[in-house]
Structure 1
Amino acid sequence: MNHDTPHQDADGTDEPGRADANPTSALAADPATTSDGGTGASDGGTGASDGTDGVGRSIELEVEVPGTPEQVWRAIATGPGISSWYVPHAVEERAGGSVELSFGPGMDGTGRVAVWEPPHRIVLDGGDGAGGLAFEWMVEARDGTSCIVRLVNSGFGSGADWDGQYDAMRDGWLIFLTNLRLHLEHFAGESATASLPMATWPGPRDAAWRRLLADLGLPADPRPGDRVATSAADAPELGGVVAATSHDHLALVVDRPTPGTAFVAAEEVGGSISVSVWTYLYGPDGALASERDDPRWREWLEARGSASERGS
């Protein structure tokens, strides 16, 4: 969900990140700081580690999700599947196939399917000679009802500029892997319409996060299992159950305006604060609600950010 400089997206292209830096920008928190009702790296949550590949640093993450390898493969390797927990994608399902994606207006990207080995391994990159980041996804059956999904995001260089991108991408992927898990737990095999509004607010981050919750009419300290809903008169309708929380975001399984998932976040990127309300709503009613509410959320976030700026 963060973005402050162009980054490589999950398909190897320059990605402004959700606001400018992540593959989400995404809504899973660091396992050490996430509250998700007892879920951690050892019992079904998101695990993370740092690595090197001999060329540069890599981000290595994993999450346990419900489903067979074939069900999980649909979620991580097809356009409708990826679009239901990450950002809108179109994937040509073969080795050498093209990939198109969008984080929103003016933030489109393209890439290549470098490796296609269903239902266990797919690698996305920018194409021959393009350089940049690569994204390897692996699916391993754990038992008859769940799988481990592993991501290796490689190609990061060294230095302060790379450090910022690395940290933002890692935080973003953690958020998105939480959303992948929620998709497979609650909506496996279904397709969602993603709405990805965001805006830049003045900091510091903790103050922006408190302000975002208050302006939405959400509780200041939401906990997993809590029922929450927007109550601000000028905010679009959004309500459901808290699935996971952290110091700068929360993940929801929603039933208002329609069934789906959502995450609300205030992330620091390059000295600015990227504030987001992203929703993934299912079925025809979800598509209609997304089309209706996306411009309303964008307007709301921009207006509240401007008001915060004037008051700071």
Structure 2
Amino acid sequence: MTVKKDASGHRSVQAEVEVPGTPEAVWRAIATGPGISAWFVPTELEERAGGTTVSHFAEDSSMDSVAKITTWEPPHRFVAEAPQEGPGPVATEWSVETRSGDTCVVRVVHRWFASTDDWDGQFEGHAHGWRSFFRLLRAYLAHFPGQHAVSFQLMGITSGPKAAAWEALTRPLGLAGATVGTRVRAPEGVPSLGGIVESSGPSEWPELILRLDTPAPGLAHLFPLEMGGQVFVTVRYFLFGEQAPGAKAHVEASWRAWMARLFPPAAPPA
């Protein structure tokens, strides 16, 4: 998505998705902590103007994203502002627009001020990332609306190339070349996984979103990301229902051990 610029130096980039549900149901998914945590990353959100929202991108607090809510207009719009090194304060606006046929458009817009193009590429990357997460949001609202999730995320790091890392992850799981609508089930000897392919990315941006029935109802999100000369291979699980807490403990341990074998940590320099 191209960055929009005006004469004063204000810039913006946006992404949007059409999702099933009423404005109230969609609002709960994008503007409450449990709702956001069911398709994005673990998040706490104070539902008021002046409140704080905190998104946890890592198990510790090292990658927390903290923002202050400046506008709160449920169930249609809220704005949160966060400081960022380089571009300075960045305002992120979320909106829910009603469409006919029991659907809504969710739109996220990042706005910032800059006198140069130095940060444009970073924000264009943000817009691409939102489109990926919005596929998860759409699957969540289609199949698990209003449900709370237990989740985990694991990451393997390799030198690449990206295509080889993706092949190394997906082929043992029986997912290589999987297409939308395909029923998949992992073979013995790998982490438990079974369900329907909800989304499959192109070769230049490989990605799989699975609607799980094994080990519990839920969603799985698998993708590789090139950054800093390395490839980060990520697996996210969102599990729902009474089985979810018990399934999470077993499956996360299984994935953690398997990923460590598949993408062993680099030895520290001598």
Task: Give the structure-2-normalised TM-score.
Answer: 0.86
What residue is the counterpart of 2:231 in the other structure? 273
Tell me which structure has the larger Cα radius of gyration.
2
State the Cα deviation string for residues 191-248 of structure 1 (Å, max 9, x = none). Answer: 1122111121221111111121113232x21110001122250x32111101111121
Structure 1 equivalent of residue 185 of structure 2: 229
| Residue 122, structure 1, aligned to residue 78, structure 2 | yes
The one-character-per-residue Cα deviations of 1:252-303 (angstroms, maximum 9, x if unpaired) are 1111111111111112123211101111111232133223322432332232
How many Å separate the matches in 2 of 1:172 and 1:126? 18
**d(CA) in 1 for partners of 2:20, 2:219:** 16
Identity %: 42
DSSP-derived class of the 2:130 partner: helix
SS in 2 for 1:171: helix
- Is 1:284 the counterpart of 2:248? The answer is no
**Are 1:181 and 2:138 matched, yes or no?**
yes
Partner of 1:10: none
Equivalent position of 1:208 in the other structure: 165
Superposition deviation, residue 308 in structure 1: 10
Quick one: which of 32, 45, 52 aligns to 2:5?
Answer: 52
Q: SS in structure 2 opposite 1:306?
A: coil
Match of residue 196 from structure 1: 153
Q: 1 or 2 for the larger relative contact order (CA 8 Å, sep ≥6)?
A: 1
- Structure 1 runs (4+) deviating above 4 angstroms are 156-160
2:196–2:212 CA contact under 8 A, matched in 1: yes
Contact 1:79 1:90 in 2 (8 A): yes
C-alpha separation in 1, matches of 2:54 and 2:249: 20
Quote how far apart the aligned CAs of 1:77 are: 0.3
Q: Secondary structure at the match of 1:137?
A: strand
d(CA) in 1 for partners of 2:57, 2:211: 21
Instruction: Give yes or no for contact 2:178–2:200 (8 Å, CA) kept in 1.
Output: yes
Q: How does 1:1-312 map to 2 (within 5 A)?
A: 50-52=3-5, 54-55=8-9, 57-106=11-60, 107-126=63-82, 131-155=88-112, 158=116, 162=119, 165-218=122-175, 220-231=176-187, 233=189, 235-246=190-201, 247=203, 248-306=206-264
Q: In 2, are the aligned partners of 1:217 and 1:229 still within 8 Å (CA)?
A: yes
In structure 2, the gaps of 5 or more residues are: none
Aligned-pair Cα RMSD in Å? 2.6
Residue type matched to 1:154 in 2?
R
Pairwise CA distance, 1:159: 5.2
Residue 115 of structure 1 and its aligned partner are, at CA, apart by 1.2
Shift of the 154–288 alpha-carbon distance from structure 1 to 2, 3 Å rule, reads farther
* Structure 1 unmatched runs, 5+: 1-47
**Structure 1 position 67, deviation (Å):** 0.8
TM-score by length of 1: 0.75
Matching residue's letter, 1:65: V
Q: Is the 8 A contact 1:230 1:237 kept in 2?
A: yes
Q: Give the length in aligned residue pairs.
A: 259
- Report if aligned partners of 1:216, 1:232 keep a CA contact under 8 Å in 2: no
Task: Give the direction of change, closer, same or farther, for the CA distance of 1:205–1:163 in structure 2 (3 Å limit).
Answer: farther
Contact kept in structure 2, 1:228 and 1:239, CA below 8 Å: yes
2:50 partner amino acid: G
- How many angstroms does 1:81 deviate by? 0.5
